[in-house]
Amino acid sequence: MKLYRCSSSDYKDYMGFVKDIYKVYTNFKDSASPVLKQFLYKQGVFCKGLEIIPVMVKKDGSIVAVCMYIASKSYADTLQLAFFEALEGFQEAVDIIVEEAKQLCRERSLRKIVVGLNGHVNYGIGFLCDCFDSDISFGSSYTPPYYAEYFARRATKHFKMVSYSGEIAAMSFEKHKRILGRVDKKFNYRHMSFRNFKADMKVYTDINNICFKEHPFYFERSYEEDLELFKELRYFIGEESIIFVQHGDKPIGYMLWYPDFNELLSYGETIGIGAFIKNKLFPNWIKKLKLVEIAILPEYQNTGAILGLFNECYKENAAKYVAYETSWIFEDNFKSKNFGVKLLENEYKHYVAYEISLQESL
C-alpha cells in the first residue's frame, strides 16, 4: 500500500473513485461534486490562494483512499486533511494519509492537522454520525458510516455538531408576540438586493468575519471569495434568501436560508442546469427550506434580533414550505444550541470533525 501525489492526469480517476464510493447509497444526492472539482483543479479566487495537494493511496494498483492536503495563510499553523474518501476496511491507508500529513506539517512548520474541514466551513465540514438513510439536504455533509471511526482513535480533539429539523407550522411565534413587538420597534429588516449585490456581499462578509472569528475552524474570507461563493447560487436563490436585520441604517446581522434544492434531484444526480430548469418551471415543487447561517454582531446579541430574523423568515415562508432543516451548530456553542432547543423542534443529524496533534502516535 502506497501514497501517491496526484498530477492532473490522475484527476479523472480521483473523481471516478469518489463517485463509485456513493453508488451503494440509494438516497445519495450529489451537491458536492462541483465543489470537489473546484478544489481539485484549483478553480476560482479562493482556491488559488491555497496550497492544495491531492493524494491517493493504492493497493495492488487500485485506489483505496483519497484526500487533499490544504494549507492557507489565513488559517495559521494548520494543515487540513480535506475531502477524505475511502473504501471500508482500509485503516492502514488512513494511517498512511495521517502520517504523510504530519510530515507535511513538519516541513511547513505547521502545528496541527484538522480532519473533516473541506477548505472552509462554507464548503463543508464534518463526518456524518447518524441518519445515514435519511434525506440529504442541499449543502449538508454526507459521508459513509465508517468514515468517522477511521479517525476517532487518532484524534486529540473531537468537535461535535448537531442540526435541527421540524415542521414549519410548529414554529409559531405567537408566544413571543410581546417580545417581538419590542424587537420590531428597535430593528428593521430588508432583503439582499441583486441590484446592489456587491455591496450586500461586502456586508455579508464583514458580519461573518466579525461574528465567527472565535468559532472553531472559521478563518477570514475576502470579499472576492464570498462573491465567488454566491455567483452560481444566485441562479437558484431569490433576494429573500438573505434577510438583513438593521439598527437604523446599520446592518447588524443576517439570516441565510434557501429552498432544499436536493428535492429537485434524482438519486445520484448532481446539482446543475437540470435542477435550475426544474426550479424555474416548478417553483412550488420544493417543500423544505434550509436554514443555513445566522449571525448577529456581538454588541447586538441578547437584544432579540435573532428572534426577529426567525420571525421574518417564518412570516415569509410558512405558507410555502412544510418542513425545515438547519445547518450544523457546534454542540458546545451553548448559546446557539439552547436557542435552537427553545425555538426549533428536534435534534436531527450529528456530525464530527477532528484535530490531530503532531505528537499523536499509532
Residues 170 and 139 in one domain: no
**pLDDT, tens digit, 9 for 90 and up, residues 15-30:** 999 999 999 998 898 8
Gap between the Cα atoms of 275 and 232, Å rounded: 13
DSSP state of 199: H
**pLDDT, tens digit, 9 for 90 and up, residues 66-113:** 999 999 999 989 999 999 999 999 999 999 999 999 999 999 999 999
**pLDDT, tens digit, 9 for 90 and up, residues 212-248:** 988 889 999 999 999 998 987 888 889 999 999 999 9
User: Helix 197-211 and helix 223-231: axis angle, to 10°?
Assistant: 120
Q: Are strands 78-86 and 112-115 parallel, antiparallel or unpaired?
A: parallel
The 3-class SS string of 302-354 reads CCCHHHHHHHHHHHHHCCCCCEEEECCEECCCHHHHHHHHHHCCEEEEEEEEE
Residues 149 and 257 in one domain: no
Domain assignment present for 38: yes
What pTM does this model have? 0.92
pLDDT at 185: 96
248, burial (CB in 10 Å: exposed 0-12, middle 13-18, buried 19+): exposed
Does 261 have pLDDT greater than 80?
yes
Gap between the Cα atoms of 74 and 25, Å rounded: 36
Q: Which of 26-30, 125-129, 281-285, 313-317 has the lowest mean pLDDT?
A: 281-285
Residues 183 and 276 in one domain: yes
pLDDT at 30: 86
* CB-based burial, 115-134: b 16+ in 10 Å, e otherwise: bbbbbbbbbbbbbbbebeee
Residues 49 and 120 in one domain: yes
Does 199 have pLDDT greater than 90?
yes
Closest CA to 221 of 199, 205, 203, 197: 205
pLDDT at 172: 75
Confidence at 335, pLDDT banded by 50, 70, 90:
low
* Number of domains observed in the structure of the chain: 2
Residues 171 and 149 in one domain: no
And the C-alpha cell for 337? 444550541
Gap between the Cα atoms of 231 and 34, Å rounded: 13
Gap between the Cα atoms of 39 and 33, Å rounded: 10
Q: Which of 186-190, 303-307, 344-348 has the highest mean pLDDT?
A: 186-190
pLDDT at 342: 62
Q: Is the dihedral of CA 340, 75, 200, 46 positive or negative?
A: negative
Residues 261 and 174 in one domain: yes
DSSP state of 9: G
Residues 94 and 241 in one domain: no
Residues 188 and 132 in one domain: no
Domain assignment present for 178: yes
Residues 141 and 170 in one domain: no
Side chain identity at residue 271, one-letter code = I
Confidence at 361, pLDDT banded by 50, 70, 90:
low
User: Helix 305-317 and helix 177-186: axis angle, to 10°?
Assistant: 110
Q: Cell numbers 455538531 label which residue?
A: 161
Does 362 have pLDDT greater than 60?
no
CA neighbours closer than 13 Å in the CB half-sphere of residue 140: 36
Residues ≥6 apart with Cβ < 8 Å to 250: none
Q: Cell numbers 439582499 label which residue?
A: 192
Residues 195 and 231 in one domain: yes
Average pLDDT of span 174-195: 93
Residues 91 and 231 in one domain: no
Domain assignment present for 362: no
Gap between the Cα atoms of 120 and 361, Å rounded: 27
Side chain identity at residue 253, one-letter code = G
* CB-based burial, 286-300: b 16+ in 10 Å, e otherwise: bebbbbbbbbbbeeb
Q: Are 88 and 329 in contact (CB under 8 A)?
A: no
pLDDT at 278: 76
Query: pLDDT: is 52 or 347 the higher one?
Result: 52
Domain holding 11: CATH number? 3.40.630.30
pLDDT at 214: 85
Residues 130 and 203 in one domain: no
DSSP state of 244: E
Query: pLDDT: is 114 or 284 the higher one?
Result: 114
Range of the domain at 232: 166-349
Q: Cell numbers 469518489 label which residue?
A: 18
Could you count the other beta carbons within 10 Å of the beta carbon of residue 209?
A: 16
